[in-house]
Structure 1
Amino acid sequence: MTASPAPAAAALTTRAQEVSSRIVDDILTLVRQETSSYDLPGLAAGLDLLRELTVQRLGQPDHEHRYPGGECGDTLTLTYAGTGTGAGTGAGHVLLVGHYDTVWPTGTLAGWEQPGASEDGREKLGGPGIFDMKTGLAQGIWALKLARESGAPLPTVTFLFNGDEEIGSLSSRPVIEEAAQKADVTLVLEPTAHGAVKTARKGTGIFQVTATGVEAHAGLAPQDGASAITALSEFVVAAAKVAAPDRGTTINTGLFRGGSAINVVAGQATAGVDIRVSSEAEQTRVDEELDAIKVSDPRVRIEIDHAWNRPPMTLNAASAPLLALAREVAREQGRDSLPDTAVGGASDANFVAALGLPVLCGMGAVGDGAHAQGEFIYPDTVPAQTALVAGVLGRLARPLRG
């Protein structure tokens, strides 16, 4: 049986319920502005909207900086000074990270159908990016607003909004790592795993494999050719056998292109390979075994771009006290539990964990269907999730001690 929440925790939860409809309105406002990772004008408009919404709810930041993303969406940091601890030694600093880009091409919203209620009658809300992760963005903003209203001493809070997470955080990674090193703890507002926070994530590799063969006429002199497509097909089949699901390692070739004409022995072919690993040891093994693959025609050259995008994330020693704190806040707010879990996907939390810094991921939406047309949230969970982040902020006015 759940114990009655403390008065302050109960007040925070009640206030979150009172403003729930306004939080949901902000979520839908963000969803209506499409922000495909590859649509630079849409990303710019989306970040402008996100900044405007943050300022509407929290006022002008004490410090802000916009980092140009080049071919990616810009990264924006907005910092709000803490209260109650002053600006001197001992004041806490929390980094709230969230990406505003989505996997959905611009124009997806027009054909999106709202989901029906769940089997138990619970309302669902859908939309491109609503689960991953625009709900988390709005909840994070409101969490600081509610924490302020509660009157509790608060840490300095920096919001970091990046527009390239879905394509590997190519431009924002150094900004994230620098900001995390300046903060005491990092909370990543990615969606939950059915209500659980995420304390372990797989590392990811985005490998490009290129086969260079010899072109020849497919009818007149096929023997003079060395097919890059045939060789790369052999490589892809062999690469799939390097996977070890029992060790958490998966290998998927998701893109394959090659050749110049149907009657020409292909001189070049490329493959895009997605690799997920749970440990650095597996990362090393995969590198070595892919490099050792041989194809049957020695005239074809195979080149592998070993692009490890994110390191594996585990619950490090620095993060364990943060998880314990979040669970304590959840209990105070009347929850039976706050589970944690490991997931196959990666996020910007991977970068922070790899630095040995305290981080919790999956502090955002409750729903399902990330990267799928059925993506949705349960709006009835918005108050509790917002209150949880607000409650954690209220406990971090001073740096967390393990």
Structure 2
Amino acid sequence: MPVPSTSAAAAFSADARIARMVEDVCAWARHESPTGDAAAVDGMMDRLVAGLEGEPVSIERLPGRDGLGGSVIVRAGPTTKVEHALVLSHLDTVHPIGTLEDGLPVRVEGDRIYGPGVYDMKGGAYLALQGFLEVARKGTAKRPMVFLFTPDEEIGSPTTRALIEHLGRDAAAVLVTEPARDGGKIVTCRKGVGRFEVHVEGRPAHSGSRHAEGRNAIHEAARQIAAIEAMTDYDRGITTTVGLIKGGTAMNTIPQHCRFAVDLRVETAADGEALARAILGLSPQRPDFTVTVTGGMNRPTFERTPQVAALYETAVGLAAEIGFALEETVRTGGGSDGNFTAGLGVPTLDGLGIDGDGAHTLEEYGLASSLGPRAMLMARLLETV
């Protein structure tokens, strides 16, 4: 079934429009914006706002804090007091400044657009914005529309979680523009994420003349790490990972301190609570050590509730009208800002961004051919939900 001509989605059928979208995605990718560089992220927000000049939207800028960049809220659609449709995107990336010159230059090779953050998630943020703006121009939104752009998703959204949840509580539906998975599939459930910091303290000593007096914090940390890694249970969808560790001061000194970080992924809230208790309750396995653990569940589980399933079926029907088959992927281990809104019980769809692959690597790319159809889908969702 063709998309009705009165729909904002019809605006994305022209080749010239798609070519312009590719150019703009490349321009966004050329503006490097790693999370930890507040000036770079704010500069990306400046680019976003400059591109909205003359559009029928209102813009609110929120300053950053704790050394991170600020956020932008774009509003459009009817001014009624009914629940709004909320779109979530982040403009920070994992790629450090200099990635353009050292490993991942922006380029178009066939259908692939390469560049830092193209796939995760500037391509998705951009295409969703185009769908949002077309609906705003045509005045076809079913309800008020709110589009939130954040600066810190890649590190767990420490400064924006409260804002996301505040806007989410008043939303009828939340649409998240994280990248598509496995050839264009969207996300209807995600694991919960826990983050912990462990500090092991022993007793320093000279490794030659006073070895027996020392208590090696790195050795005790190794015992703790083995216990943590043993908590992984693939059958229950539980994974524990120690990916960062730091300890010691010199090769000939028994180390007094060792610190490491723990990443936890779980499929259920109950497992999240149980594993968090276990990790927070770690105690020394040998005498004369102290073990201190901080942290907790960073993102709640994103469950495929009946409300999420109903929203997914709506998206499937709209995609069929546009002319492509939409599928959902199996539960993904990665977290997103959609976990926060889904955790509130708000119907949430994720993975609505650009199709492609290579997130967080020097082979990251998005597919130009997915820009038009997925912008259309975003527009139709905003006209429908």
State TM-score, norm by structure 2: 0.93
Distance 1:324 1:33, change over 3 A: same
Quick check: 1:374 aligned with 2:372?
no
d(CA) in 2 for partners of 1:104 and 1:252?
22
Sort the Cα spacing of 1:139 and 1:298 in 2 relative to 1 into closer, same or farther, 3 A. Answer: same
CA distance in 2, matches of 1:148, 1:233: 56
Q: Structure 2: how far apart are the matches of 1:199 and 1:9?
A: 29
The answer on whether the counterparts of 1:251 and 1:275 sit within 8 Å (CA) in structure 2 is yes
Pick one of 160, 169, 173 that aligns with 2:157. 169
Counterpart residue identity of residue 156, structure 1 = P
Q: In the alignment, which residue of structure 1 is the partner of 2:76?
A: 80
1:105 aligns with 2:96: yes
Structure 2 residue matching 1:109: 3-state secondary structure:
coil
User: Structure 1's 301 and 366: CA in aligned 2 closer, same or farther, altered over 3 A?
Assistant: same
Aligned to 2:35: 37
Identity of aligned residues (%): 29
SS at match of 2:260: strand
Q: Distance in 2 between matches of 1:200 and 1:140?
A: 20
Q: 1:9 to 1:365 in 2, by over 3 A?
A: farther
* Structure 1 equivalent of residue 266 of structure 2: 277
Aligned partners of 2:325, 2:250: CA distance in 1, in Å? 63
The count of aligned residue pairs is 382
- Structure 1 residue 239 and structure 2 residue 228: aligned? yes
SS in 2 for 1:372: coil
Matches within 5 A, 1:339-350: 339-350=328-339
Equivalent residue letter for 1:108 = T
Partner Cα distance (1:114, 1:28) in 2: 6
User: Per-residue CA shift, 1:155-189, capped at 9, x if unaligned?
Assistant: 32111011000001000000000011122211111
Give the letter aligned to residue 143 of structure 1: G
Structure 1 residue 74 displacement after superposition: 1.1
Contact 2:32-2:97 within 8 A present in 1 as well: yes
Q: Deviations over 1:226-263 (max 9, x none)?
A: 11111001111121111111111111111111112111
Number of the residue aligned with 2:66: 70
Pairing partner for 1:7 from 4, 16, 19: 4
CA contact (8 A) 1:16 1:146 kept: no
* CA offset digits 1:341-361 (Å, max 9, x no partner): 321100000000000111111
- More deviation, 96-105/213-222: 213-222
8 Å contact kept, 2:141–2:382: no
What secondary structure is seen at the aligned counterpart in 2 of 1:318? helix
Cα distance between partner residues in 1 of 2:348 and 2:362 = 30
Q: In 1, are the aligned partners of 2:26 and 2:106 still within 8 Å (CA)?
A: no
Structure 1 residues not aligned, in runs of 5+: 397-402
Residue from 335, 358, 369 that aligns with 2:347: 358
Instruction: Indicate the larger mover: 276-285 or 164-173.
Output: 276-285
Which amino acid is 1:223 matched to?
A
Q: Does the CA contact (< 8 Å) of 1:330 and 1:338 recur in 2? A: no
| C-alpha RMSD of the superposition | 2.1
Look up the match of 1:320.
309
Show the counterpart of 2:381. Answer: 392
Provide closer, same or farther for how the CA distance between residues 113 and 79 of structure 1 changes in structure 2, counting only shifts above 3 A: closer
Indicate the larger mover: 179-188 or 311-320.
311-320
Distance in 2 (CA, whole Å) between partners of 1:11 and 1:73 is: 32
Question: 2:19 matched to which residue of 1?
Answer: 21
Equivalent position SS for 1:319: helix
CA deviation after TM superposition for structure 1 residue 68, in Å? 2.5
- Deviating more after overlay: 339-348 vs 242-251: 339-348
Residue pair 1:9, 1:391 contacting (<8 A) in 2 also: no
CA distance in 2, matches of 1:98, 1:288: 32
Instruction: Give the whole-Å Cα distance in 2 for the aligned partners of 1:294 and 1:372.
Output: 37
Match of 1:138 among 102, 126, 137: 126
Structure 1 residues 9 and 191, CA gap change in structure 2 (3 angstroms): farther
Contact 1:204 1:309 in 2 (8 A): yes
**Equivalent residue number for residue 252 of structure 1:** 241
Gapped regions of structure 2 (runs ≥ 5)? none
Contact 1:322–1:360 (CA<8 Å) still a contact in 2?
yes
SS of the aligned residue for 2:41 comes to: helix
Deviation at 1:6, TM superposition (A): 4.6
Q: Cα–Cα, structure 1 residues 47 and 267, in superposed 2: closer, same or farther, change >3 Å?
A: same
CA deviation string 1:195-215 (max 9, x = no partner): 111011111112111001111
- 1:196 alignment partner AA: K
Amino acid at match of 1:163: P
